[in-house]
Amino acid sequence: MQRARARRLLLAGCVLVSLAAAALAFQGSASPAVLQPLRVAHLRALPARDAAGLTRLDSNLRTLVRPSLRSGRVSVEIDAARPAAARAAVSRLGGTVGASFRNVVDARMPVAGLGALSRDASVRFVQTPAHSYEDAIPGEEVRASLASASQANGVTGKGVKVAIIDGSFAGLAARQAEGDLPTNVVTRDFCEGGFPNGEGHGTAVAEIVHEMAPDAQLYLLCEGGRTDLAQAEQFARSQGVKIVNYSAEWFNQGRGTNDPSDAVDQVVADAKAGGMLWVNSAGNDADMHWSGTFTDANGDGFGEFAPGSEGNSFVAPGGDVFCGFLKWDEWPAATSDFDLVLVDSNGSVVDTSANVQSGTQPPIESKCVENPYSSNHRFAWGIYGHNVKSSPRFDLYTENTSSLQYQTAAYSIGDPASSPSAFGVGALCWQNNQLEFYSSQGPTADGRVKPDIAGHDSVSGATFGPFDGSCPSGFAGTSASSPEVAGAAALVKSANPSFTADQIGAFLQQNALDLGPSGVDNQFGAGALRLPTMVVKADRTPPSARALASKGVRGHAVKLSSRVFDDSGELRLREQVKRNGVVIKTFTSGFLLTPKAVAVPLTWTAPKALKGAITHCVRGQDRAGNLSAVTCAKVALSG
Ligand SMILES: [Ca+2]
Ligand SMILES: [Ca+2]
Ligand SMILES: [Ca+2]
Ligand SMILES: [Ca+2]
């Protein structure tokens, strides 16, 4: 009820402004004078590259190592060939080791030690800490997905745990007070105290999951880096979470094909191996991405995006930070050396990302710049080839800018939505099932079809405001369509408790409405999310519980055990110790997870002078109340 009232109030004209919505407004409404096409024909000469033996140090860090700047400490992420040896090198060079996950080692280093660290044999590459990007551009999703019919039948996500991993959760208490989010959410900060910060992106995502699956137990987990993301995933798994929503993407972390060197993909692979469905926004980059190969017809070193055009221009918001990310398909070590160049509209070079690629380093360049102009300004990205020995496919992404002048929707699928272990979600306008122009598209670098499905966006919510009559508005972006699918997955799981993550995904795809080219395609995946009317299936299958024989010593702790299972995946136990058939001790458990038959241990201290025939008896009960038979086993006592 409260939820409905909050929505009516919003539709009545309360306008909440978010940074993300402002960015969208910028995209759609910059003045024609600023947006007039600009052709950067020739880029002016590149400044000399000063790598000075620092070939495994991110060019954004290299500038810090100049003698005049060699003071202070800086946070870095190390891509380690040998993580233990890299951690030792950090300590030896006066740094502090942070968290680690697979090949990634976090550290805080004295700037003076960065060069030596990058030259250590254990280190592949030292870079500035990477972070994820929210896939939002800022509750019609329940209707659009046809979830309302299932909800009316009592399919509400009850008994299903859903984790929302996000950058931050500002406004959570307010949303709970208004009834847009339940009070029983579990929260954990894996983002160094940043949980309540930001623009409420995670909170808005949680609102959508909750509308779709109102009785699902929500876990709100924030992450601030790759090792944080790994910790959040591990925590979710330890809590019995079955569905994860991650409305974010990473740039330049890998090929998007579950390669061992890609720590973000490895987190998603771990989630899948742990039985979780990892639902991930596809990204909002279809118009902010370019893909192609290197062509330098005039031989000046700068590649051409079109004949006679060496710049790929865009408009950056005044005074704000914007970024470019370039990768080429030579993982894990680049053969050719390309640099990313930022140029002003007159073709002069403003900044460069100039990592050295000499055969061992990753094929990545990235540059984040604060726009020195206070108003919207047109720049262009360029690509310079230093040592071109191959012709790899590029992916160039621009962030927090307008669309690119030369754009390629194909291959714009974000990471880790691209992972074979992720369930990637594109965005459709909820009103008419039209693909949003920004919804990232496949295929993946290795030719797989992505996204996996398409959900609905531009929905109203308390955090990002109302749908205003046309798309995009309200909560727009694949950040919004992904939690619709995650919530739908929770409904499917609650109606079909025995379903595995793969079965949930297959069910969603089979019931989707095919759109675009016939069959699964690189724009819509399997099509628009569409749920059949589901019913709560009464659980009529009793659990099994078998006590196992045990032995021990009088006056000491005795280990009793039993083997138990229920088809719903959960049961609770009543365990009793009997002497000559008479109960002398009773234990009861809470609900235990039984994805398969599991052994359950119990410790009981045998009284010193206990005589007679001792037995341990077990009975299981599932959530529907079905009881197993009581089974008993002998407890042989000595001493
Ligand atoms: Ca050229
Ligand atoms: Ca380079
Ligand atoms: Ca299709
Ligand atoms: Ca059962």
Structural domains in the chain, sorted by start: 31-43+287-399 (2.60.120.380), 59-127 (3.30.70.80), 134-282+421-511 (3.40.50.200), 544-638 (2.60.40.10)
pLDDT of residue 132: 84
C-alpha 301 to ligand 1 mean position (Å): 5
How far apart (Å, rounded) are the C-alpha atoms in residues 448 and 257? Answer: 9
CA distances from 110 to 70, 124, 379 (A): 8, 19, 34
Confidence of residue 130 (pLDDT cuts 50, 70, 90): confident
Model confidence over 578-613: pLDDT tens digits? Answer: 999 999 999 999 999 998 999 999 999 999 999 999
CA distances from 195 to 126, 137, 175, 307, 545 (A): 27, 20, 15, 48, 42
pLDDT at 12 over 50: no
Q: Which two tokens stand for residue 30?
A: 């910059």
Burial 603-636 (b: 16+ CB within 10 A, else e): ebebeeeeeeebbbbbbbbbbeebebeebbbebe
R_g of the chain, CA atoms, integer Å: 28
C-alpha 594 to ligand 1 mean position (Å): 62
C-alpha 492 to ligand 4 mean position (Å): 17
| Shortest-distance ligand to the CA of residue 498 | 4
C-alpha 564 to ligand 4 mean position (Å): 12
pLDDT of residue 43: 67
pLDDT of residue 71: 66
C-alpha 62 to ligand 1 mean position (Å): 27
C-alpha 335 to ligand 1 mean position (Å): 20
C-alpha 548 to ligand 4 mean position (Å): 21
pLDDT of residue 68: 54
C-alpha 453 to ligand 3 mean position (Å): 10
Query: Are residues 591 and 564 in contact, defined by beta-carbon separation less than 8 angstroms?
Result: no
Q: Which two tokens stand for residue 303?
A: 């590649």
Short-list 179, 184, 183, 223, CA closest to 202: 223
| Shortest-distance ligand to the CA of residue 330 | 2
Cβ-based burial of 313 (10 A; exposed 0-12, middle 13-18, buried ≥19): buried
Share of the chain above pLDDT 70, in %: 90
How far apart (Å, rounded) are the C-alpha atoms in residues 565 and 173? Answer: 39
C-alpha 299 to ligand 1 mean position (Å): 5
C-alpha 166 to ligand 3 mean position (Å): 30
| Shortest-distance ligand to the CA of residue 328 | 2
pLDDT of residue 16: 24
pLDDT at 157 over 90: yes
Model confidence over 76-93: pLDDT tens digits? Answer: 999 999 999 999 999 999
| Residue 90, φ and ψ in degrees, nearest 5 | -60, -50
Confidence of residue 44 (pLDDT cuts 50, 70, 90): low
Contacts of 587 (CB under 8 A, 6+ apart): 573, 574, 575, 576, 602, 604
Confidence of residue 46 (pLDDT cuts 50, 70, 90): low
pLDDT of residue 61: 85
pLDDT at 203 over 60: yes
How far apart (Å, rounded) are the C-alpha atoms in residues 180 and 210? Answer: 8
Model confidence over 302-350: pLDDT tens digits? Answer: 999 999 999 999 999 998 899 999 999 999 999 999 999 999 988 888 9
C-alpha 474 to ligand 3 mean position (Å): 26
C-alpha 541 to ligand 4 mean position (Å): 4
Question: Where would I find the beta strands (DSSP E) of 96-253?
Answer: 96-101, 104-110, 123-127, 133-134, 161-166, 186-190, 217-223, 243-246, 248-249
pLDDT of residue 162: 98
494: left (phi over 0), alpha (psi -120 to 50) or beta: alpha
C-alpha 60 to ligand 2 mean position (Å): 12
C-alpha 22 to ligand 3 mean position (Å): 32
pLDDT of residue 471: 87
Confidence of residue 552 (pLDDT cuts 50, 70, 90): very high
Query: Are residues 565 and 572 in contact, defined by beta-carbon separation less than 8 angstroms?
Result: no
C-alpha 241 to ligand 4 mean position (Å): 19
pLDDT of residue 17: 25
Q: Per mean pLDDT, which range of 25-39, 218-232, 248-262 is the poorest?
A: 25-39
How far apart (Å, rounded) are the C-alpha atoms in residues 141 and 139? Answer: 5
Confidence of residue 59 (pLDDT cuts 50, 70, 90): confident
Model confidence over 554-584: pLDDT tens digits? Answer: 999 999 999 999 988 899 999 999 999 999 9
pLDDT of residue 14: 24
C-alpha 519 to ligand 3 mean position (Å): 4
Cα angle 15, 19, 21; round to 5: 55
Share of the chain above pLDDT 90, in %: 74
Measure the CA dihedral 499/501/503/508, to 10°.
110
Instruction: State which residues have CB under 5 angstroms from ligand 1, the bound ion.
Output: 296, 298, 300, 302
| Shortest-distance ligand to the CA of residue 572 | 4
pLDDT of residue 66: 63
| Segment 405-414 mean pLDDT | 97
How far apart (Å, rounded) are the C-alpha atoms in residues 613 and 484? Answer: 58
3-state SS, residue 316: strand
C-alpha 344 to ligand 1 mean position (Å): 17
pLDDT of residue 468: 85
Higher pLDDT, 254 or 37: 254
C-alpha 467 to ligand 4 mean position (Å): 43
Q: Per mean pLDDT, which range of 15-24, 193-202, 436-445, 531-540 is the poorest?
A: 15-24
C-alpha 336 to ligand 2 mean position (Å): 8
C-alpha 530 to ligand 2 mean position (Å): 45
Query: Are residues 558 and 633 in contact, defined by beta-carbon separation less than 8 angstroms?
Result: no
| Shortest-distance ligand to the CA of residue 362 | 2
Instruction: State which residues have CB under 5 angstroms from ligand 4, the bound ion.
Output: 539, 541, 566-568, 622
C-alpha 217 to ligand 4 mean position (Å): 20
| Segment 108-137 mean pLDDT | 87
- What is the rounded average pLDDT for all residues in the chain? 88
| Shortest-distance ligand to the CA of residue 451 | 3
How far apart (Å, rounded) are the C-alpha atoms in residues 446 and 324? Answer: 23
pLDDT of residue 73: 86
C-alpha 520 to ligand 3 mean position (Å): 5
pLDDT of residue 24: 26
